[in-house]
Structure 1
Amino acid sequence: MTLQTRGIFLYLAGVALFAANDALGKWLVTDYSVAELMLIRSLGSIVLILGLMRSTGATLKLPPGQGWLHVVRILLLAGDSFSFYFATKALPLADVMTFYMSAPLIITAASALLLHEKVGLKRWGAIIVGFGGVVIALQPTSAAFSPSALVALSGAACFALAMVITRRLRDCHWVTLVAWQFIGCGILGVVATPFDWIMPTPLDFTLMALVGLVACGCFMLVTKALALAPASLLAPFQYTAIVWATILGWIFFGDAPTPPIILGSLIIIASGLFVLYRERTLKVVVNERVEPIP
């Protein structure tokens, strides 16, 4: 198995966890502020971060000369989290996810412009076809054209640019990257939470901490994946979030998948399998097309 194939499977695992994490987060922000969720989420992530730092030997020390990129990355990921949960307060989850599925397009474009990754027409085609599958599956409502839609789209852009910067910082230990990400979000939560604090019940506090634990695992998988494979190669696999959301909704909420969801999911899976096939059969070409980052 090539490093890029390993990166793809790690990314798929991270996206699967994101689907469960997003649904739980949407449920919690109906009663609590986004800032409060971000604060307690960061506290919950500490358990996993400390354990991994101890087992891997990673520290909080950052490589010299990269501090500003880390700050930008933290702010973008905080903007992503805030935008997603804020948008779900006003929009159906399907609409928000539709906007967030524009992230692979943004990642691919930004990777080509900022990281000098060579993206061929076939990979662009797979990404566009996958996005078509998302639209078919989710069937966004008229609410998708409300002002909250701009918040969701902004969040998708924040997430996409943060993933590109994460690829740029792949020489930094992946545990260190995730640790600083949650430290930064926790600090922002501390600043904002006093203005809208609601004392959580023990169960809700535990669930918010669990969101942090799961989110931490998500970002660790994705960050490690970006250390192994180009961002533009991984981008199409973001669409599998829709497939997982459909499966989880069916299992836990009895929401049987409709024909459009089945068709859209099949299109998404096909586009991802095409990218994986291209990577496995043309791995040498893919490797050569990724120019070193200056």
Structure 2
Amino acid sequence: MPSTVPPKPSAIQHGSASLGIVFMLLGMLMFSLNDTMGKWLVETYPVLQLMAIRSVAALLVLLPLVLRRGIMTVIRVERPGLQALRALLFAIDATAFYFAVGYMPLADAMIYWLAAPIYVAALSPFLLGEKVGWRRWTAILIGFAGVIIALDPSRESLSMPALVALFGSACFAFAIMLGRTLRTTPDTTLVVWQFVGSLVFSLIGVAVVPGSWKPLDPATILLPALLGIVAMLAHVLVSRSLKLADAATVVPLQYTLLFWAVVFGWIFFGDTPRPTVIIGAALIVASGLFIFFREQTLKKFRQVDE
């Protein structure tokens, strides 16, 4: 899942908005490929082992960039406690996602993560002190209704993977909120901490959880490593997109993740979305888009008043 926070308006370059759109669409495609590969690889590798190899590969790709910028720019960060908490939340989020997709269709799992902006909007008045009016509260309630419909709570559908997916998406939402608080931290630093957190979390898990590491086959180790490289490319594309185009133009394109989840789930795994999933997804996407565009409108009003 994408974790990049839109930069401050002053950081957005006056470049090609069209190129920004292309980068965002490619970034979402790469994230979808990452999710598809993850679902396939968890059939062979334990989730924690997959997370560890993925994190090492991503950090190796990031290493030249970190060395060029100076390693101290990554080590000396503002509010290290919040940075560590954000990294931990993203580690739990990614682990929960790979666990969930091992048992449920890609599209089903993706819906819970696409609901994260709705959770953020609901919690922002209490944790960030942001004002939320009746229009956004209505959209939030509609979004939650979509989650419930997609979850289709019953003895058969309310499974452990579904609950893990809900928990993981909630961690993702809290990580997004921390990203808002840490928005002055460079993107590279945020991503490095994110993958370091995933590596530490997965290695501790491997040491504690029995059977979470299998002997590596040199012929196949490149596949989970490729997972980390694909995830890194996706983060780079999304970050670059947000620098080339306005957030209002490119952020809604993140919902193309659901399209790719349905397509790849059908092609590679023979998954067909349930009717309740389709209805719930429609409500979640509509709610998320309304909340986003409403926030953009209010931001413009505040800038005019200033």
- TM band (smaller chain): 0.7 to 0.9
Judged with a 3 Å threshold, the aligned counterparts in structure 2 of structure 1 residues 159 and 143 are, in CA distance, closer, same or farther, namely: farther
Distance in 2, Cα, partners of 1:274 & 1:4: 25
Give how far 1:55 is off.
5.3
Alignment of 1:167 with 2:188, yes or no, is no
Whether the 8 Å CA contact 2:108–2:277 is kept in 1: the answer is no
**Structure 1, residues 7-32: CA drift from partner, whole Å, max 9, x if none?**
99677665443222112111111121
Alignment of 1:68 with 2:84, yes or no, is no
Whether the 8 Å CA contact 1:108–1:235 is kept in 2: the answer is no
Give how far 1:212 is off.
0.9
Distance in 2, Cα, partners of 1:117 & 1:226: 23
Distance in 1, Cα, partners of 2:127 & 2:27: 24
Equivalent position of 1:209 in the other structure: 225
Judged with a 3 Å threshold, the aligned counterparts in structure 2 of structure 1 residues 141 and 210 are, in CA distance, closer, same or farther, namely: farther
Q: Which consecutive residues of structure 1, in runs of 5 or more, have no partner in the other structure?
A: none
Judged with a 3 Å threshold, the aligned counterparts in structure 2 of structure 1 residues 22 and 286 are, in CA distance, closer, same or farther, namely: farther
Equivalent position amino acid for 1:29 in 2? V
Equivalent position of 1:191 in the other structure: 204
Judged with a 3 Å threshold, the aligned counterparts in structure 2 of structure 1 residues 82 and 19 are, in CA distance, closer, same or farther, namely: same
**Structure 1, residues 200-219: CA drift from partner, whole Å, max 9, x if none?**
33453212111111223344
**Structure 1, residues 69-121: CA drift from partner, whole Å, max 9, x if none?**
11211111111112112223333333323333331221212333322334444
Equivalent position of 1:85 in the other structure: 98
Q: Report 1:1-294 matches (<5 A).
A: 3=9, 14-54=27-67, 59-64=73-78, 66-124=79-137, 143-193=156-206, 195=210, 196-220=212-236, 239-249=255-265, 284-285=300-301, 287=303
Equivalent position amino acid for 1:168 in 2? T
Equivalent position amino acid for 1:60 in 2? V
Judged with a 3 Å threshold, the aligned counterparts in structure 2 of structure 1 residues 156 and 223 are, in CA distance, closer, same or farther, namely: farther
Which is further off, 254-263 or 100-109?
A: 254-263
Distance in 2, Cα, partners of 1:147 & 1:63: 37
Which is further off, 92-101 or 170-179?
A: 92-101
Match of 1:145, SS? coil
Give how far 1:243 is off.
1.8
Question: What is the TM-score with the length of structure 2 in the denominator?
Answer: 0.71
Distance in 2, Cα, partners of 1:275 & 1:241: 18
Q: Which consecutive residues of structure 2, in runs of 5 or more, have no partner in the other structure?
A: 1-7, 14-19
Distance in 1, Cα, partners of 2:193 & 2:63: 12
Judged with a 3 Å threshold, the aligned counterparts in structure 2 of structure 1 residues 126 and 12 are, in CA distance, closer, same or farther, namely: farther
Whether the 8 Å CA contact 2:12–2:242 is kept in 1: the answer is no
Equivalent position amino acid for 1:197 in 2? W
Equivalent position amino acid for 1:148 in 2? P
Distance in 2, Cα, partners of 1:248 & 1:145: 24
Judged with a 3 Å threshold, the aligned counterparts in structure 2 of structure 1 residues 3 and 252 are, in CA distance, closer, same or farther, namely: farther
Equivalent position amino acid for 1:61 in 2? I
Whether the 8 Å CA contact 1:131–1:239 is kept in 2: the answer is no
Task: Name the % identity.
Answer: 43
Which is further off, 137-146 or 25-34?
A: 137-146
**Structure 1, residues 175-214: CA drift from partner, whole Å, max 9, x if none?**
0111111112112222333543212334532121111112
Distance in 2, Cα, partners of 1:219 & 1:170: 16
Question: What is the TM-score with the length of structure 1 in the denominator?
Answer: 0.73
Match of 2:31, SS? helix
Equivalent position amino acid for 2:230 in 1? V
Give how far 1:282 is off.
6.4
Distance in 2, Cα, partners of 1:63 & 1:146: 40
Whether the 8 Å CA contact 1:130–1:268 is kept in 2: the answer is yes
**Structure 1, residues 242-274: CA drift from partner, whole Å, max 9, x if none?**
122234446767878899888887777766766
